[in-house]
Amino acid sequence: MFDSVARALKYITDNDIAMVDLKVAGIAGQWLHITIPAKNFTEAHFEEGVGYDGSSGAGFGKVESGDVAALPEVQTGFVDPFFELPTLSFICSTVTADTREPFRSDPRTIAQRAVDYMKNTGIADEAWMGPEFEFNVLDRLNVFNSPYHTQINIECTEVDGDGLTPPIAQKLGYMATPPSDHFSDLRAEAALILQDMGISIRYHHHEVGAPGQCEIEIDLGSLVEVADRAMLIKYVIKNVAHRRGKLATFMPKPIFGEAGNGMHVHQKLTKGSEFIFYDDTQKNYANLSDLALHYVAGLLKHGAAMTAITNPSTNSFKRLVEGYEAPVNLFFSLANRSAAIRVPRYATSPQQKRIEYRPPDFTGNVYLTLATMLMAGIDGILSKVDVAENNFGPFDVDIARQSEEFRSKITPVPRSLLGALDALEADHEFLLKGEVVPESFIAAWIESKRTLHAKAVAVRPHPYEYELYLNV
């Protein structure tokens, strides 16, 4: 919205902005915010930032000192439509509180370092990413979780029925139309707000899941910019749903027996005006260049380890199961939705040629997810990892229907969060290159996810266990 600090400050004055809101991404991927009365907001805030305790909500205290500052990035400014008073928001990077140097464990800074590392290798000038946004819209969700009361009650008119509309049957919601699609107007409202914020929306539609599963797709953009957009898109969707009296969730598997919510990420590299994922000689599969195939191989080689960052929740692995178009095996293919990497069949021109990595979900920090994929792909290029030698495909078949002998040769994604964390512990050297990700950050990430997520869930009785074992 702004190309200079002077223009941003002038906008505040000319448009009677009452508050300036600064938004920061914590390690877990959530937005935190701090608000400043506009009359007190000056040029100094863009130079020095606003100090905050990074150990409380952001999680920075687990890896480094907790004293940090939120430094607003002027080009990210947008009028925030979800406050009563006129409010201008900025997305922030986190810097050290004393020297104002980029904070090494700030996810946004890590993403920028990954891009800088790619440029320094000379492989490409830009990494283009395009996440898909899958989410559920529910009428109400109540959770009770205590030693003597464990219950989840989910309500959604698309399956419960409202007495006026036939409910959507299980896993039959794909591209449903109104009146069965109850949330088309909600998605449209979110799309228009995002368009006004400068985010181009390709389309939106109802997804496969019957209980309010939706999808919004955007165009590809540069890595850090797209990560900023992803945070903003989630923010808009959740707030639009809330003010319509609904709940929007990006949880990977909120409902048993229904399709889960992924974050499939389209990606390509360019160098100057050259689209380096495309090869017009037709010597390679799907017109992918040798460089693109090495990039694919890098993603698949490090796929198990990446899962600890791209799918860092116990719930992630309830989505990553066969039977729901979930990518549970590390291979690539053309237009095959059971593959970890799909090459879109419709992307045939040099400009369109890209790959889609399908395992991630939104429990990951989007800055870290995109940076991790880029680092794995770059490692594949630099190491010249070969897809055929590693049995990464292409396989244009439904793996679930193949023989055990065929399946045994294909590497699966981890089946649990603990398995993924073990894989990351054994394979993270590719993230350390160029000092992109601090090793202390990886160690803290693994310990946090093991203790606060995997082990915490593992010791709690599951409601279904009462059906299985109460009468033993």
pLDDT in tens, 88-114: 999 999 998 888 889 999 999 999 999
Bridge partners, residue 79, by sequence: 88
According to DSSP, the β-strands at 19-25 and 87-96 are parallel
Tens digits of per-residue pLDDT, 17-60?
A: 999 999 999 999 999 999 999 999 999 999 999 998 877 666 67
Residue 344 phi/psi, 5° resolution? -55, 125
What is the structure's pLDDT at 58?
64
- Tell me what the mean pLDDT of segment 380-405 comes to: 90
Task: Give the other-Cβ count within 10 Å of 388's Cβ.
Answer: 11
CATH fold group of domain 5-103: Ubiquitin-like (UB roll) (3.10.20)
Q: Does 337 have pLDDT greater than 80? A: no
pLDDT of residue 348: 87
| Model confidence band, residue 406 (pLDDT cutoffs 50, 70, 90) | confident
Which of 372-381, 403-412, 447-456 is predicted most confidently? 372-381
| Domain map (residue ranges) of the chain | 5-103, 119-469
Topology of the domain covering 119-469: Creatine Kinase; Chain A, domain 2 (3.30.590)
Residues assigned a catalytic role = 53, 132, 134, 207, 215, 264, 337, 356, 358
Give yes or no for a contact between 22 and 70, defined as CB atoms under 8 angstroms apart. Answer: yes
Q: Residues 221, 227, 231, 234: what is their CA dihedral angle, to the nearest 10 degrees?
A: 60
* More reliable by pLDDT, 361 or 62: 361
Q: What is the pLDDT of residues 310-319, one digit of tens each?
A: 999 999 999 9
CB 211 within 8 A of CB 156: yes
- Strand-pair partners of 34: 22
pTM of the model: 0.95
**d(C-alpha 265, C-alpha 280), whole Å:** 24
Given a cut of 60, whether residue 62 has pLDDT beyond it is: no
